[in-house]
Structure 1
Amino acid sequence: MTVSGVRLPSVSMTFEDDELYRDITGFAQDTPTWVQHTAEVWTEAGILVFGALFVALWWRSRRDGPRAFAIAALAPVATAVAYVCSELLKSVLDEERPCRSVTGAVPSLAECPPTGDWSFPSNHATIAGASAVALFLVRRTLIRLAAPLALLMAFSRVFVGVHHPHDVAAGLLLGAVVAATTVRLCTRPATRLAEAMRASSAPVVRRLSGPGPNAATAAASAPSHRRR
């Protein structure tokens, strides 16, 4: 990694899960073509699915209290922080991609990233782990959907041959820890910001933050005060 023109020392990573990698990628090669294509699409499209869930929860949380809204708004931010942490680690821990380094492995389903695009930890798995935890913190029942999606997305990175199993395991853990920590540290200031946004006179700001639960309650009770 280079900072201000200074090359920081890197660390070469070595783990012993090559046999598991060969087993998974060998199994992948034996699956029907439609399964292989689905895995190749999902390994990238999963990020878009999590993004859509973030947007839907942000929109719904506009009628919740300021704390609930703040956590919903923090969810994608926490995921982005986890991704940055993953990138920083990848720039220091120079682990070659298994599609190039594992001897005796079948060709990867996905194109092998170039040298310099290091393997540890998996960015996709980090995003998946962070997204699952962030969505759980917004609405706990979502863990039933988010956890399987995150695990499937992480597994797909090994299935298509571009990551070692330990890459995705570390990514899931890193993402989960960073997301939980980020939300915990930022909830209080984000809640104060949400309250300030809802008190703002700027229409755009109020539109982004939503009316909150009080406006919804007032709108629901308004007809009862009308004289008939």
Structure 2
Amino acid sequence: MILALSGGSIDGALYRQVVDLAHRSPGALDTAVTAWSDYGLAVFAVLMVIGWWRARRSGARAAMTALTVPVAVLVAFAADSGVKDLVRESRPCHGLPFRTLEACPGAGDWSFPSNHTAIAVAATVALFFVSRRLGAVAALCAVAMAVSRVWIGVHYPHDVLAGALVGGLVSFLVTGGLRNRPRDLADRLAATRLRPLLVS
């Protein structure tokens, strides 16, 4: 176990400014940000399905690349969770006297790095291998997810930055590595019962 980060000493002042701004913002905005923070990851799942569905029209190899996106996301989530268990940084809402928009997660639900951000950025990086357009949409959604996690008070800014770094790097390595598989593998799989997954 690594000694827990003292998040407040790293960027606690910026965290306070963001949370204070959230409290001074219109209630409708806070409601929208909270809903996005809680349920926005579903959008990335939808983008993955769209990417796979469209890739099938381009052939088995493109579809195989699209099918690596959820694999990259799962590996990135596992890596991020591993770092989280090593560092064990307490949530800012436990250490700072601030009322947050979201209920503070329980003790043992560590803050660094942000899983939500890692998943969002991992999906974004992998989707760029499938479609630049989908990747661009995902990138905007990932930024919104990262900001929302600080806005509702459950993460320090450095938590989301670290989550983005871990998720993006792992996703790039996994997706790039899987793209280097034997070039005829997709064609061989397309000749099996898996054909509907790879060719429309």
- Coarse TM-score class (shorter-chain normalised): over 0.9
The partner residue of 1:91 within 76, 85, 89 is 85
Secondary structure (helix, strand or coil) at the match of 1:62 reads helix
Between 10-19 and 112-121, the greater mean CA deviation after superposition: 10-19
Q: Is the 8 A contact 1:70 1:190 kept in 2?
A: no
Shift of residue 26, structure 1, vs aligned partner: 0.4
Q: Is the 8 A contact 2:150 2:157 kept in 1?
A: yes
The partner residue of 1:177 within 169, 172, 178 is 169
Shift of residue 109, structure 1, vs aligned partner: 0.4
Between 24-33 and 12-21, the greater mean CA deviation after superposition: 12-21
Structure 2: runs of 5+ lacking an equivalent: none
Query: RCO (CA 8 Å, sep 6+): is it higher in 1 or 2?
Result: 2
Q: Give distance in 2, aligned partners of 1:143 and 1:209.
A: 20
The partner residue of 2:19 within 22, 25, 33 is 25
Q: Is the 8 A contact 1:66 1:191 kept in 2?
A: no
The partner residue of 1:11 within 3, 24, 35 is 3
Matched, 1:111 2:103: yes
Distance 1:157 1:208, change over 3 A: same
Shift of residue 197, structure 1, vs aligned partner: 1.8
Between 60-69 and 190-199, the greater mean CA deviation after superposition: 190-199
Secondary structure (helix, strand or coil) at the match of 1:63 reads helix
Question: What code does the residue aligned with 1:206 have?
Answer: R
TM-score w.r.t. length of structure 1: 0.82
- Paired position in structure 1 for 2:151: 159
Mapping for residues 10-89 of structure 1, pairs under 5 Å: 10-15=2-7, 16-89=10-83
Provide the aligned C-alpha RMSD in A: 1.5
Q: What is the percentage of aligned positions where both structures have the same residue? A: 39
- Paired position in structure 2 for 1:195: 187
Q: Give distance in 2, aligned partners of 1:190 and 1:42.
A: 39
Q: Give the number of the structure whose alpha-carbon radius of gyration is greater.
A: 1
Secondary structure (helix, strand or coil) at the match of 1:125 reads helix
Q: Give distance in 2, aligned partners of 1:196 and 1:117.
A: 44
Q: Give distance in 2, aligned partners of 1:98 and 1:193.
A: 47
Q: Is the 8 A contact 2:60 2:199 kept in 1?
A: no
Q: Give distance in 1, aligned partners of 2:138 and 2:172.
A: 15
Q: Is the 8 A contact 1:70 1:191 kept in 2?
A: no
